[in-house]
Amino acid sequence: MKVTRMRVARIILIVIGLAGLFLGALIMVQKERPDQILGVIVWIGAAIIVHDGILSPLLLLLDVWMRRAGRRIPFGVLVIIQGGVVVGAIMSMLVLPEIYKKSLGTKNPTILPLDYGLNLALFWAAVALLTAAACALYLRRRRSSRDAEQVQPTSAA
C-alpha cells in the first residue's frame, strides 16, 4: 500500500482532532456538573438534527435549483452564491440559540443584552450585499478577460 503525503496529512489531522475531542471531554467531565454535561449533549444532538434535517436539505434544494439555472448562470457565480448561503446558514445556527433564550427571558438582563434577531437580519443583509458584490466583480473580470482574448493582435508573418 502506497502512503502518500495526503494520506499522512489526513492521519495527522484525524489524530489531532481525536486528541482534541478526548481532551475536551476529559476537561468537561472534570469541571462541569452532570446537568451541564447533559445540556451540552442535548445541544450537540440538536445541532446535528438542525444541520442534517434542515440546513443540508435546504442547501441541497438550493444547489439543485441553481444548477438548473446554471445553464444561464456562470458556474463561478453559483459557487459564490452557495458560499454566501453556507456562511449565513452557519451563522444562523450559532445565533438561533441566543434568540430563543432571549425570548424565554433571563434573571440577569446583562447576560443577553443584544437584539440578536436584528443582528442576524443585518448579518444576512451584509452577506447578501457582499455576495452580490463578489458576483459583480467576478462577472466584470470574466467579461474583461474575454474581451482581452478577442482583441488579441495577430502577429505579422
**pLDDT tens figures, 41-96:** 998 898 889 888 988 898 888 878 877 876 778 888 888 998 998 899 889 888 88
**pLDDT tens figures, 137-157:** 999 998 888 777 776 666 555
Separation of alpha carbons 52 and 70, rounded Å: 25
The residues spanned by each domain of the chain are: 30-141
pTM > 0.85: no
The candidate with the shortest Cα–Cα distance to 56, out of 43, 47, 67, is: 47
Per-residue model confidence (pLDDT) at position 118: 93
All three cell numbers of 7? 494520506
Terminal-to-terminal C-alpha distance of the chain: 55
Write the single-letter amino acid at 76: G
SS3 73: coil
